[in-house]
Amino acid sequence: RRVAAATAKLLQRAGVSFGILGETESCCGESIRKAGDEEVFRKLARENIKAFIDRGVKRVVVNSPHCYHTFKNEYPEFMVRFEVMHISELLLDLVRQGRLEIPGGYGRRVTYHDPCYLGRHNGVYDAPRLLLTEVAGAELVEMADTRVDSLCCGGGGGRIWMDTPKAERFSELRVRQALDVGAEVLVTACPYCVANFEDSRLGLGEDATLEVKDVVEILAESL
């Protein structure tokens, strides 16, 4: 909810005309397909495509890299294509166009985690980093295993719904890597990653040492 509120705040500040589908919107179906239920995935895809077409949607902007990947690379299987943007790409475009002005001065030391479906699968590495450094004014320190070598948070492939044994939680390793570089905030651009890192941060007793935020929250706080 806090990421959605921050996103709306930024788009409104930039004067972007946007809408949401509300209850008409279905899950993109990515995790359901990865879990093996192709029939339900196709049902959800058809429902979303119909909702987009009925409302004349030309561009779909998403916060989740899982939705980004699915809308962009898998929905074309249904002979339909929309322009799909991750919110980090759109916000950087708005800044460069002069439509979104952010004073900056965030100043805190942050590290950025590349979500699998934004970075490794779709090549979006720079937009979130540029928003953090050149726009928000954060001090970015890179932890181990970044960009194409980034570790999964453990939530992909349907694992977000699994109870993972403590010794197998990649999210805990990632939180430790963020702490190792002295980051005050572990920033990412994926709701699965935020949820997993938040759980691990609390589980490791680092709630007073490290915060977990989405990149749009950093920008909204910098307004």
Examine the domain organization and report whether 107 and 215 are in the same domain: yes
Q: Is there a contact between 82 and 58 (Cβ–Cβ < 8 Å)?
A: yes
Examine the domain organization and report whether 126 and 151 are in the same domain: yes
CATH number of residue 166's parent domain: 3.40.50
Number of neighbouring beta carbons within 10 Å of residue 167: 6
Domain presence at residue 61:
yes
HSE-CB for 39 with a 13 A CA cutoff = 0
Domain presence at residue 97:
no
Q: Which of 189, 128, 199, 121 is nearest to 159 (CA)?
A: 199
Residue 213: which domain range? 102-221
Provide mean pLDDT across the span 89-103.
97
- How confident is the prediction for the chain on average, in pLDDT? 93
Instruction: Tell me the per-residue pLDDT of 143-160, one tens digit each, with 9 for 90 and over.
Output: 999 999 999 998 766 565
Q: Is there a contact between 193 and 113 (Cβ–Cβ < 8 Å)?
A: yes
What is the pLDDT, as a whole number, of residue 164? Answer: 65
Distance (Å, whole) CA 96 – CA 3:
22
Domain presence at residue 96:
no
Examine the domain organization and report whether 133 and 184 are in the same domain: yes
pTM for the complete prediction?
A: 0.93
Distance (Å, whole) CA 182 – CA 185:
9
Provide mean pLDDT across the span 32-56.
95
Structure tokens at 130: 């540029």
